């Protein structure tokens, strides 16, 4: 779950910076990750999205792996 969802502009992509100093540009693939801009603050930012490939990407790239 993301509290502040990525913007739906920038051609559906966003830059992510990591604690180790590197950065990546990721194209968001699941429409639930980037809801359309409606002017309503945080309208749908706290909803679960099971099977969301973008959440899987973030989990694999921004989490500590078990040792």
Give the tens place of pLDDT for each residue, 8-54.
Answer: 677 888 888 888 888 999 898 988 887 776 666 555 555 667 898 98
Q: Is residue 1 part of a domain?
A: no
Give the position of tokens 């980037």: 34
pLDDT at 43: 53
Q: Is residue 5 part of a domain?
A: no
Q: Is residue 42 part of a domain?
A: yes
- Give the residue numbers spanning the domain of 58: 10-62
- pTM score, two decimals? 0.66
Q: Is residue 33 part of a domain?
A: yes
Q: Is residue 4 part of a domain?
A: no
pLDDT: which is higher, 23 or 62? 23
Overall number of domains in the chain: 1
């Amino acid at each position: 779950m993301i509290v502040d969802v990525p913007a739906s502009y920038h051609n559906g992509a966003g830059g992510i910076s990591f604690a180790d100093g590197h950065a990546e540009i990721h194209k968001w693939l699941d429409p639930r990750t980037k809801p359309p801009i409606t002017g309503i603050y945080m309208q749908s930012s706290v909803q679960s999205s099971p099977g969301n490939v973008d959440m899987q990407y973030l989990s694999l790239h921004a989490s500590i792996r078990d040792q």
